[in-house]
Copies of this chain bind each other. A is one copy, B any other.
Amino acid sequence: MGITKSEIFTKEQNQIASIAKVLGHPARIAILEHLAKVKTCICGDLVNTIGLAQPTISQHLKELKKLDLIKGNIEGNSICYCLHKEKWEEFKDILNQFLSIFSDPENNCC
């Protein structure tokens, strides 16, 4: 049905999935990598850097904003986007914890 049955999963499972989902598109990976590279805030150069139309970039930024991963400060005419560092660290911890669930060396079977 295209709709996810979120209600049958735990809050934690849904949260991990939400974080992973927003990272599940190369454009958003590229946006975050660009944000990391240009240490200062970036504004409208994403459209030029990434090869997607302006409305498409705007939509991807919206997805990132929905999870609070980035914030946008109005700077005169344009908008200065940057990372929400605390959220990033929080999500990083959540993902890292999930990624270590198989760390038990006894976890071997086939």
Chain A positions 19-44 with a Cβ under 8 Å from a chain B Cβ: 20-30, 32-33, 35-36, 39-41
Report yes or no: B24 in contact with A17, Cβ–Cβ below 8 A: yes
Q: Taking the full assembly, how many copies of this chain does it contain? A: 2
Complex Cα gap A89–B64 (Å): 27
For residue A76, CB closer than 8 A to chain B, the reply is no
Interface residues of A, count at CB 8 A: 52
Contact B107 A39 (CB under 8 A): yes
Q: Which residues of B contact A17 (CB under 8 A)?
A: 23-26, 28-29
Mark A residues whose CB is within 8 Å of B. 4-6, 8-9, 13-14, 16-18, 20-30, 32-33, 35-36, 39-41, 50-52, 71, 73, 80, 82-83, 85, 88, 92, 95-96, 98-102, 104, 106-110
